[in-house]
Every structure is written in structure tokens, then in C-alpha cells.
């Protein structure tokens, strides 16, 4: 038989595996810090770079893009070569992919604590890093599709379809959501504003979960689970059905993040319906994974790798049941803005992504090093400690979310809010936060056991950078298109397959995003809504820098309990100058959309100095540096000019006058503070932030609701 000799590149998957472990430790450590920070605000030590607001995005980015991202690459670089019977297309691209990705992570780890952020969840990185991500991602895509084109195996195995879908969709999402206008090297404004910006962001956010945390891991499942179990996948036909329905439906479901907002009703319903439909292919995938182990369940008892994978797939099943349930409007009304959402997300990341990654690493590294795992016992210990950690993370947060939401909504017999003080509802769930941080500590401990176990494994093994392999060349005889063989024909055409995948996700994306473009001309202009003053604009950028939106929403939903607590519900037309939107997604503190005019300037000043002075027991950290740092006045003209380019109606030539206006308004606020006995210079950050907060929601503020919250 005619065979060709070639070499697998083992170096790249090894490096990515090491990076996965390294960044996994960092991501979880940062997660632990925020878990403790949230109920010990003094733990940030008065250091701006360690507050919950700034560190939380660091944790999410590290977990998603550093830990899970490197795990994806490790798994793809290992499995793709083997199911294609070919070396990766280009060693140079592999190196660019690896080192480029690590540099991006380092850039994120530096910029996020510094407050350099776009404020858009899971897309916080500023524009120069966004461009780097696009370049590295394309390098990965070319490398992958190049490998598929020169493969020796005739058919493209199902794992690779999921990899293709991942590459194509993440590219579309990342570019679509990152269209922004740079103001300076580290500052930009998104071209979309308000409602439109929110729609694009959650089209991105939802599908980033779908195509970064789900599809690549399904690909890994379809390769590593059969490998670890040493038996083929339960049903190949089911995998075809699973693949096409999943990628087709997923992209439509994004609107469920915006229930009760400005989205038209039909689009909200579409989001809900597709979310429920999504349950079926998701569970199809889960059963395909679990049934692969039919007749081999006895092995699950002894084999920690299979244990990790079984729990991972089960966690996938759990979170994909929970997702559609949360997309129901009545459940969403209860769960949105509460700790239920982090609980839902962590079933996915800790259970599905984390455990699948651990299973993969325990299987792959011994293979790469031609040895056995150092200790099965330790891996088993890791499994049990990790599982307990997940349980202790998730259950208290479900509990906390439901408890707090019910408290927000509870009225007394005479029709007043039973818990008018928001803080009361927070203090109620602090014990749950404590249990959660213990759960996180357990999960982290499990990871440290993995580090030790893999270190011992790698030390005794012998690694082969380039593994020699022989395989016959691809059978180039033409595939004939005939009934019943169409999918196999497709599988033999890598580029055609990629195009069809792109087409499938674009249809859904199109239907979801088109309303976004229609909205612009259809949001009724509210006459009284005016652009921010230069000082307020600077204050808004400080709000973004400090990531206040990590804990405070700016979206009063049209419920009696919210109108009663916060004031008039939010209108689409109020956000037309908000580049970016700052609706937030979690209320660790109260909503701020109607905070303008509610408290005196002095109240805010003292609250930033030490929140406990105004609300004893508050979980908000002190923001003393705001009282000391100077407003970046010099950047104002560039910001005004950028905003005008984006359509905010500042008059021509306002750049020359804006600094004077800014100083005048700042002077006013500092004089008012002086009247209350607070001596401060007008050029401090706190003045700008107060100006912004006092402006919030006042453009159309209804008088009647002014006093309800006092």
C-alpha cells in the first residue's frame, strides 16, 4: 500500500495545554479574589486596581479567553491533526496563534485593572487589542482550514465541523461587536448607541457563549470522549442533526438577554421560542455523549477521566435546560439582575468547560509524554473536591438570587415596598456569598491538585516534538453526489462546508440584527433628551473606568416594584446619546438610572469617600482616589469631536469652548459642596462623576416618583 510519512506537531498542543493550566490557576485565583471582595469591600485595600468592579471583568476574561481559550486551542491542535491525518498547515501560523494569544491575555491582564475598558461584557478590551484578537483568530482559522484542505483522511470528522463553526462565528461576532471609533490609543466609543448598542452587544454576548464556550467544547467532546472511552460516538447521524440544528438555532436566541427592553415584542418572542427549541439539539448532543458510554459504565467508576467527562456533559445538559427556562419571560422577570445568572453561568464554566478541560488534560498530556498519569488517586480526589466546589458555588447562588428577587418585589398590605432599603436585600444574602467563596476555594484546590499531578506525570515522561506517522494519501477519486451521500460529499469539501456554516449562522444573525438597524430611525426622539455636558461626559468615562456597571444597572424595568423603588421606567429614547449603553446585567447595588437629583452632591461625595458613612453596612468599596485624582480635562475636545462624528449633536467648533464649560460646571458643584462644608478643588474626578450621576435619568424624570425611594 502506498503510504506517506509525516509528523504530527506535538509542541503546539503541549504549549497550549501548559498555558491552559497556568491561566486556569490565574483565572480562578482572580475569581476567588472577587468572590471574597464582594462581601469584604475593604479587601481591595483602597487600591483602585483591586476593586470588585475592575477585577470582575479580569476574572471573566481570564476564565473565558485565557483558560477556556487555551484549552480550545490545545484540544483543536491535538485532535485536528489526528482526525485529518496531517500535520498542521503551517508551523509559523501555529506559533503566531500561540504567542499572539498569550500576548493578548497579558495585555488584557494589564489594561483591565487599569480601567482601560469598553464596558461591554466579555468584549471589554480596547480597540488595539481587538485588532490583535482579529489577526490571531484569522491566523488560527487559516491554519485550521489549511489543515483540512491538505488532510489525508477522506472525511471531515464531526469534531472538526464544530471547530469550523467556532472559527467562522466568533470572527463574525467579534468584528460586528467591536466597531468602535478610537478617541486615543486606549479609548474608543462604539458606533452604536443605547438600544442599538445593547442589541448588538447581546447578540455578541449570547453567541460568544454559544460559539466560544459551547461549540468548540462539543467538538472536543466528540473527539476526546470516544478516545477516553475507546469506543465510537453513539450515533453519527445524531451528530449531524445535532450540529446543524444547534448552530442554526443558537444564533437566533440572543434577544432573550433583553426581555422587557426596547426590543419589539415579536423579536423577544422569537428569542424565547428559539431558546426553547435550542433545548432539543443541546440535549441531543448530551445524550450522544452519554450514550457513547453505554455498556461501559463500570469503567466510569474507576476512570477519573471518564468521570470528569460524564459530569461535564451532564452539566452541559443542566445549563442548557436552565438557559431556555430563564428565557421564559416570567422566569426572566424574577431571575434577571440577580445571582441566579452567575449560578447558571458557573454550571457551564465550572462544570462543562472546566471538567471537560480537566478530563482532556488528564488524557492528553500522558499521551503526549508517552507515559501514564502519575496518580489516578489524586485525579479522583480532584474530581470529588471539584464537584463539591461546584455544588457549593451554585446552590447558594440560586438561593440568593431567588431570595433577593422576591424581596425586591415584596409589598406590604398597604401597598408599600416591604424592603425599601436596597441594602437590606443585599445583607440578607451575604451568608450565601460566604458559602460561594468556600465552594470556589474547593474548586481552586482541585485545580492545584491537577497541577501537581500533571507536573509529576510530565517529569517522568518522554516528549516527542514531532511524532512520526504513516498514512495513505487521500483517495482523490471524485465523490459522487448521490441520494443518501450528500452529507458525506459535503464532509469531503472543507471550504464548501465552511461556507455553508457561515451561511447558516448569518441567516440567524441577519434576522436578529436587522431590527437593530431599523430601530435607529424609529426611536421617537424625546425633545428634552440632550447630549451630556463635557463634565458629565468625563464623569461617564470615569463611571466606565471604575466599571460601576459591574454592580449597578441603568434600566428600570416596567414593573410596579421597580417603578416604586427607582422611579419612572426607562424609555428607549433616553439612551440615544449613550455610546456605549450602560444598562448593566447584575444588581449587586441598586439601579442608578433615576439616581439624578435624588441625593445632594454632598451625599455622593461622602458616599464615595466611605459608603458606610451614608449607608452603614454597605458592600461598596471606598473610592477615595476619586477625591484625589484630577479630571483628564485635556482629552475633552477629542471626545466631543468623536461623539459628534458618531452623531451626537454638539455644535461645530464646540471643541474650543468645551473646557471652559466643563470648568464652569465643576466650579458650581465644588461651590455647592463648600456650602455643605466640604472643601474640594473643582478639578477632581469625583466632581465629574457627581455631575454625571446627578444628570442620570433627569431628562424626562417624572416628578411624582422623586420621593418614593427616600
CB 440 within 8 A of CB 31: yes
- Name the packing angle between helices 11-37 and 69-84 (round to 10°): 160
Report the nearest approach of another protein to the CB of residue 292 (Å). Answer: 10
- Name the packing angle between helices 304-326 and 355-368 (round to 10°): 150
Report the nearest approach of another protein to the CB of residue 329 (Å). Answer: 12
CB 558 within 8 A of CB 564: no
Q: How far apart are CA 55 and CA 32, in angstroms?
A: 11
Please spell the DSSP secondary structure of 294-325, one letter per residue: TT-HHHHHH-HHHHHHHHHHHHHHHHHHHHHH
Written as nine digits, the cell of 666 is: 465643576
Report the nearest approach of another protein to the CB of residue 250 (Å). Answer: 12
Report the nearest approach of another protein to the CB of residue 594 (Å). Answer: 15
Report the nearest approach of another protein to the CB of residue 597 (Å). Answer: 23
Task: Identify which of 437, 430, 432, 435 has the alpha carbon closest to the alpha carbon of residue 619.
Answer: 430
Report the nearest approach of another protein to the CB of residue 526 (Å). Answer: 11
Report the nearest approach of another protein to the CB of residue 368 (Å). Answer: 13
The three-state secondary structure class of 181 is strand
CA distances from 214 to 68, 353, 389, 609 (A): 10, 8, 22, 43
- Residue 18 or residue 260: which is nearer to another protein going by CB? 260
- Residue 1 or residue 45: which is nearer to another protein going by CB? 1
Beta strands in 185-222, from DSSP E residues, in sequence order: 187-190
Q: At 138, which helix (H) or strand (E)?
A: helix 127-149
Report the nearest approach of another protein to the CB of residue 293 (Å). Answer: 14
Report the nearest approach of another protein to the CB of residue 90 (Å). Answer: 17
Q: How far apart are CA 80 and CA 57, in angstroms?
A: 32
- Residue 224 or residue 599: which is nearer to another protein going by CB? 224
- Residue 473 or residue 617: which is nearer to another protein going by CB? 473
Q: At 469, which helix (H) or strand (E)?
A: strand 466-471
Q: How many CB atoms lie within 10 A of CB 58?
A: 27
Written as nine digits, the cell of 652 is: 461645530
- Residue 236 or residue 297: which is nearer to another protein going by CB? 236
- Residue 446 or residue 573: which is nearer to another protein going by CB? 573
CB 69 within 8 A of CB 108: no
Report the nearest approach of another protein to the CB of residue 518 (Å). Answer: 5
- Residue 9 or residue 126: which is nearer to another protein going by CB? 9
- Residue 270 or residue 392: which is nearer to another protein going by CB? 270
CB 438 within 8 A of CB 392: yes
Helices and strands counted in the chain (H then E): 28, 4
Report the nearest approach of another protein to the CB of residue 486 (Å). Answer: 5
The three-state secondary structure class of 337 is strand
CA angle 329, 334, 338 (to 5 degrees): 125
- Residue 457 or residue 570: which is nearer to another protein going by CB? 570
CA distances from 126 to 136, 204, 262 (A): 16, 16, 27
Written as nine digits, the cell of 433 is: 456569598
- Residue 114 or residue 486: which is nearer to another protein going by CB? 486
Report the nearest approach of another protein to the CB of residue 183 (Å). Answer: 30
- Residue 504 or residue 620: which is nearer to another protein going by CB? 504
What stretches of 461-619 show up as alpha helix (H) in DSSP?
A: 486-491, 494-520, 534-545, 560-566, 601-609, 611-614
Q: How far apart are CA 569 and CA 258, in angstroms?
A: 15
Which residues lie below 8 Å from residue 345, measured CB to CB, with a gap of 6+?
Answer: 319
φ/ψ of 208, rounded to 5, equals: -70, -40
- Residue 48 or residue 515: which is nearer to another protein going by CB? 515
Amino acid at each position: 500500500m502506498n503510504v506517506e510519512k509525516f509528523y504530527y506537531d506535538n509542541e503546539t498542543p503541549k504549549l497550549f495545554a501548559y498555558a491552559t493550566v497556568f491561566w486556569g490557576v490565574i483565572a480562578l485565583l482572580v475569581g476567588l479574589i472577587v468572590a471574597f471582595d464582594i462581601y469584604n469591600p475593604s479587601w481591595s485595600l483602597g487600591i483602585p486596581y483591586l476593586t470588585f468592579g475592575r477585577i470582575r471583568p479580569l476574572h471573566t476574561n481570564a476564565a473565558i479567553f485565557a483558560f477556556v481559550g487555551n484549552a480550545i486551542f490545545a484540544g483543536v491542535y491535538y485532535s485536528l491533526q489526528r482526525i485529518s491525518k496531517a500535520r498542521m498547515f503551517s508551523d509559523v501560523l501555529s506559533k503566531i496563534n500561540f504567542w499572539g494569544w498569550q500576548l493578548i491575555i497579558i495585555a488584557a491582564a494589564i489594561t483591565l485593572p487599569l480601567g482601560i475598558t469598553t464596558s461591554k461584557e466579555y468584549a471589554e478590551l480596547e480597540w488595539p487589542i481587538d485588532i490583535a484578537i482579529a489577526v490571531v483568530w484569522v491566523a488560527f482559522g487559516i491554519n485550521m482550514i489549511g489543515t483540512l484542505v491538505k488532510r489525508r483522511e477522506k472525511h471531515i470528522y464531526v469534531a472538526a465541523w464544530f471547530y469550523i463553526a467556532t472559527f467562522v462565528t466568533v470572527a463574525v461576532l467579534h468584528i460586528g461587536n467591536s466597531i468602535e471609533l478610537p478617541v486615543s490609543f486606549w479609548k474608543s466609543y462604539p458606533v452604536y448607541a443605547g438600544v442599538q448598542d445593547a442589541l448588538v452587544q447581546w447578540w455578541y454576548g449570547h453567541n460568544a457563549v454559544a460559539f466560544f464556550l459551547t461549540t468548540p467544547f462539543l467538538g472536543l467532546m466528540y473527539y476526546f470522549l470516544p478516545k477516553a472511552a475507546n469506543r465510537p460516538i453513539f450515533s453519527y447521524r445524531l451528530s449531524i442533526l445535532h450540529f446543524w440544528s444547534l448552530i442554526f438555532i443558537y444564533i437566533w436566541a440572543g434577544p432573550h438577554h433583553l426581555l422587557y427592553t426596547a426590543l419589539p415584542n415579536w423579536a423577544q418572542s422569537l428569542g424565547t421560542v428559539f431558546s426553547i427549541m435550542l433545548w432539543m439539539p443541546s440535549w441531543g448532543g448530551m445524550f450522544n455523549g452519554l450514550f457513547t458510554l453505554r455498556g461501559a459504565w463500570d469503567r466510569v467508576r474507576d476512570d477519573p477521566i471518564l468521570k470528569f467527562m460524564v459530569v461535564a456533559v451532564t452539566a452541559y445538559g443542566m445549563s442548557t435546560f436552565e438557559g431556555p427556562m430563564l428565557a421564559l419571560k416570567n422566569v426572566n422577570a424574577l431571575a434577571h439582575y440577580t445571582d441566579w445568572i452567575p449560578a447558571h453561568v458557573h454550571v457551564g464554566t465550572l462544570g462543562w468547560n472546566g471538567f471537560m478541560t480537566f478530563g482532556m488534560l488528564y488524557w492528553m498530556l500522558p499521551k503526549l509524554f508517552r507515559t501514564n498519569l502519575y496518580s489516578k488517586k489524586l485525579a479522583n480526589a480532584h474530581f470529588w473536591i471539584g464537584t463539591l466546589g461546584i455544588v457549593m458555588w451554585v446552590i447558594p447562588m440560586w438561593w440568593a438570587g431567588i431570595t433577593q428577587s422576591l424581596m425586591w418585589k415584596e409589598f406590604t398590605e398597604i401597598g408599600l415596598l416591604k424592603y425599601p432599603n436596597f441594602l437590606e436585600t443585599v445583607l440578607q444574602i451575604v451568608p450565601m456569598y460566604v458559602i460561594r467563596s468556600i465552594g470556589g476555594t474547593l474548586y481552586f484546590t482541585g485545580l492545584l491538585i491537577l497541577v501537581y499531578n500533571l507536573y509529576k506525570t510530565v517529569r517522568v515522561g518522554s516528549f516527542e516534538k514531532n511524532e512520526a506517522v504513516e498514512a495513505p494519501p487521500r483517495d482523490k477519486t471524485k465523490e459522487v453526489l448521490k441520494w443518501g451521500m450528500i452529507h458525506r460529499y459535503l464532509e469531503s469539501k472543507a471550504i464548501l462546508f465552511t461556507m455553508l456554516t457561515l451561511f447558516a449562522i448569518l441567516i440567524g444573525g441577519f434576522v436578529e440584527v436587522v431590527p437593530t438597524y431599523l430601530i435607529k430611525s424609529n426611536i421617537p426622539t424625546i425633545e428634552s433628551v440632550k447630549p451630556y455636558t463635557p463634565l458629565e461626559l468625563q464623569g461617564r468615562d470615569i463611571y466606565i473606568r471604575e466599571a460601576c456597571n459591574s454592580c449597578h444597572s441603568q434600566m428600570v424595568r416596567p414593573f410596579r416594584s421597580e417603578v416604586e423603588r427607582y422611579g419612572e421606567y426607562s424609555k428607549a429614547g433616553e439612551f440615544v446619546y449613550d455610546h456605549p449603553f450602560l444598562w448593566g446585567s447584575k444588581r449587586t447595588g441598586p439601579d442608578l438610572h433615576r439616581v439624578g437629583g435624588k441625593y445632594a452632591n454632598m451625599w455622593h461625595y461622602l458616599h464615595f469617600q466611605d459608603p458606610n458613612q451614608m449607608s452603614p453596612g454597605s458592600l461598596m468599596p471606598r473610592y477615595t482616589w476619586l477625591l484625589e485624582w484630577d479630571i483628564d480635562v485635556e482629552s475633552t475636545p477629542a471626545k466631543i469631536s468623536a461623539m459628534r462624528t458618531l452623531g451626537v449633536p454638539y455644535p461645530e467648533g464646540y471643541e474650543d469652548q468645551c473646557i471652559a464649560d466643563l470648568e464652569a460646571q465643576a466650579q458650581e458643584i465644588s461651590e455647592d459642596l463648600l456650602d455643605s462644608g466640604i472643601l474640594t478643588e473643582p478639578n477632581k474626578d469625583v466632581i465629574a462623576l457627581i455631575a454625571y450621576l446627578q444628570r442620570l435619568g433627569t431628562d424626562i424624570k417624572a416628578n411624582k416618583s422623586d420621593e418614593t425611594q427616600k
